[in-house]
Structure 1
Amino acid sequence: MSKEFLELREECCEANKQLPKLNIVDLTFGNVSMGDPELGAMAIKPSGVSYETLTPNDICVMDLNAKPDKNYQLDLEAAKLYGSLRPSSDTPTHLRLFQAFPHIRAVVHTHSRNATAFAQAGRSIPCMGTTHADYFYGDVPVTRRMTPEEISRHYEWETGNLIVETFAGMSPEEIPAVLLNGHAPFVWGTSGAKAVETAYALEIIAEMTIKNLVLNPDSNTLSQAQLDKHFLRKHGKGAYYGQK
């Protein structure tokens, strides 16, 4: 195995281990994947393995371009480049996102409690304040419900298709997260560390929003001017937040 593949597995392993440290996963409900277009590979946590015992050697490395055949069959073992363990059951969703959003290098899926509460309620997370605006340029969207046909055809791949559909006319760079209706959030970023940070921020924002709406159900969302200021000073062309 080349140095590049080893580094990909190590970075993926470390990103996964951050999830319980940040208290955004329970049990084994979550995973991080890392994609490298130059290697044509995606590293992802194996299914059901605890974060505490996870090692780089456990990480599964998949063909980044793998997709279902015309019969909607995707053989994950055939698509696996390295690893002896079974990859996460969410692997097809991760693959679909890397293939649809070429700028991303990491995908995080959690069942963090407050963000998942919004997903299960079928509600987007409105932008109520500047904490939200520092990470997302508008509401974090919730998908529609999956149809019975989508669920039975290829559940995990169709989950990815649903996310891609939800972002038609939206920027996955400006809003790097989505809530799967009845399920939980998916988050992405330009590195494992950035995607994990954004997943953590999403959970903090979801908790703040719930408390905000309990205290004042009639709260106004953040003004467009303040949303623009906070997001663009951190992510815009003339960004001046933080250090160079």
Structure 2
Amino acid sequence: MSKYQHIQEEAYKANMQLPKLGLVLFTFGNVSAVDRDLGVFAIKPSGVPYEDLSPEKMVIVDFEGKTVEGNLRPSSDTLTHAVLYKHWEKIGGIVHTHSVYGTAWAQSQRDIPNYGTTHADHLTADIPCAPPMSDDMILGDYEYQTGFQIMNCFKDKGLSYEEVEMILVGNHAPFTWGKTADKAVYNSAVLETVAKMALLTEQINPQAPRLKDSLIKKHFERKHGPNSYYGQ
């Protein structure tokens, strides 16, 4: 039995959730799961249809993006995952999709405003959209630089990756993360739903007001923090 089987299983199960949740078309997406003690992560192989995946096909990669185990080429987004794992040490899983509504907001180069309590249940901030990558970064190591594009956006906006577990990459698409690959998938589904709701909100009322701070605080704290009381 491979010493990496546990993260291969975790990555496989999480990847298989993406088509079930309507977050990917064809092979437009990937999930990875990390083992920090071993210094590696398991990620979907590049361009392989979801129905052809298995745990054994998940590629094992180190934090420099080099393949450690596996015969298939890892996802083309592997270096982005590697950069985030290397610098954001409390991430356990990462998801990248081209889900329709999240990607539409990314292509619009707009943060997703906090319009309602569904959004506030998950985060107090707007969902950030990183500015489009500079030409120098594009001409360099593109996927590697995407990791820094994400981190630079968080630094510039004063956001914590532990509190805001999602981002839109301008003109590209969403990335999400979490303490586990499952949580990263959950965050990806939340982002897509909130993106759809925000679009519909602006269509119904282009002057829709943002959710007031008191409601943002109330709904976030119901689910998070020392005095949370949502759930069993």
Q: CA deviation at 1:36?
A: 1.4
Query: What's the counterpart of residue 69 of structure 1?
Result: none
Question: Offset of 1:62 from its aligned partner?
Answer: 0.6
Q: Does 1:38 align with 2:37?
A: yes
For the residue of structure 1 that corresponds to 2:91, the secondary structure is coil
Q: Following the alignment from structure 1 to structure 2, what is the Cα–Cα distance between the partners of residues 57 and 204? A: 32
User: Quick one: distance in 2 between partners of 1:236 and 1:137?
Assistant: 13
**2:220 matched to which residue of 1?**
231
What is aligned with 2:61?
Answer: 62
TM-score, length-scaled by structure 1: 0.92
Amino acid at match of 2:133: M
1:238 Cα shift?
2.0
Q: Structure 2 matches for 1:106-117, cutoff 5 A?
A: 106-117=93-104
Residues 206-225 of structure 1 correspond to what in structure 2 (within 5 A)?
206-225=195-214
Q: How many residues align?
A: 230
Distance 2:229 2:82 in 1: 34
Q: SS of the residue aligned with 1:9?
A: helix
Distance, in Å, in 2 between the alignment partners of 1:174 and 1:231 is: 11
Matching residue's letter, 1:131: T
Find out whether 1:96 has 2:83 as its counterpart. Answer: yes
Where in structure 2 are there 5+ consecutive unaligned residues?
A: none
Matched, 1:27 2:16: no
Q: TM-score, normalised by structure 2?
A: 0.96
Q: Pairwise CA RMSD of aligned residues?
A: 1.0
The share of aligned pairs that are identical, in percent, is 46
Q: Which amino acid aligns with 1:180?
A: V
Correspondence list, 1:35-184, <5 A? 35-63=34-62, 65-66=63-64, 76=65, 79-168=66-155, 169-184=158-173
Residue 14 of structure 2 corresponds to 15
The one-character-per-residue Cα deviations of 1:132-182 (angstroms, maximum 9, x if unpaired) are 111122100001111111001110011000100011121112211000000
- Which whole-Å CA distance do the structure 2 matches of 1:61 and 1:137 have between them? 35
Shift of 1:58: 0.6
Structure 2 counterpart of 1:122, one-letter code: Q
Q: Secondary structure at the match of 1:52?
A: helix
Q: CA deviation at 1:237?
A: 2.3
Q: Distance in 2 between matches of 1:39 and 1:103?
A: 15
Deviation above 6 Å: which 4+ runs of structure 1? none
Q: CA deviation at 1:49?
A: 0.5
Q: CA deviation at 1:210?
A: 0.4
SS of 1:175 mapped into structure 2: coil
Q: Distance between the aligned counterparts of 2:201 and 2:19, measured in 1?
A: 26
* Counterparts of 1:59 and 1:137, CA distance in 2: 35
Distance, in Å, in 2 between the alignment partners of 1:137 and 1:33 is: 26
SS at match of 2:140: helix
Cα deviation 1:192-234 (Å, max 9, x = unaligned)? 1111111011111111110000000101111111111111221
For 1:43 and 1:235, how far apart are their aligned partners in 2? 29
Structure 2 residue matching 1:125: 3-state secondary structure: coil
